[in-house]
Structure 1
């Protein structure tokens, strides 16, 4: 469901934007355009480093409450460096996201294992 329409967004998206992700180190993608396309599909939080720099750009699709009730967990996607992948993520989010809709098959290629959780007091923090 597009942002601005009635009803809750199907899920939330977290996008890494720090030392590597969203920076000139990752070439060939309009980073601001990527955020805008995702924001048209769901609320987007921009995070500092998610500690998977070798997989930049990182996008984490977090299930809605309904998706979590069905047992869904956040889905981590790496190397999201082209408009087609961003559009596939946005379409999946609009369809319901984890637990409510099957992701486009191509997103399996982007699926990564989340890094080990940081210890208390880590420098990871959300920017917006």
Structure 2
């Protein structure tokens, strides 16, 4: 008999939106100069507080789009048809404010993104989508 404790099964779906901020080989580094990368991440965390999970992640393999942010819908948003939204070249405070406002309003599936975010939206390669399960 094993003495290890059994972990509870993870809940299905995300109860709230998740904002993944790439901090891999190019994003969040001096390779994208004159940007307060830490400040932008801190602002997302501050702005979204309990509304969304904001996490720094390793390389998302879309380096040509540095800095990359992926907004994943909540379970409710996914049920309403929301899908992950990839945003690239997120290197200024105004973009971070627009992302925070959208996610704060519900994010993918529940709220329309500000039109300005269309300029940041991109589709990652099939290989990257396959590896990440998107």
Q: Secondary structure at the match of 2:35?
A: coil
2:37 corresponds in structure 1 to 31
Q: How big is the shift at 1:18?
A: 1.2
- Across the aligned residues of Structure 1 and Structure 2, the Cα RMSD in angstroms comes to 2.1
Q: Structure 1 unaligned runs (5+)?
A: 1-7
Normalised by the length of structure 1, the TM-score is 0.82
Q: Which residue of 2 aligns with 1:79?
A: 89
More helix by share: 2
| Long gaps (5+) in structure 2 | 1-13
Q: Which runs of 4+ in 1 moved over 6 A?
A: none
Q: 1:115 Cα deviation (Å)? A: 2.6
Larger Rg: 2
Cα–Cα, structure 1 residues 87 and 118, in superposed 2: closer, same or farther, change >3 Å? Answer: closer
When the two structures are superposed, what TM-score results if normalisation uses the length of structure 2? 0.78
Secondary structure at 1:107 match in 2: helix
Question: Cα distance, 1:9 vs. partner?
Answer: 7.1
Matches of 1:104 and 1:47 in 2, distance apart?
A: 24
Q: Does 1:98 align with 2:94?
A: no
For this pair of structures, how many residues does the alignment match? 115
Q: Alignment partner of 1:60: what SS?
A: strand
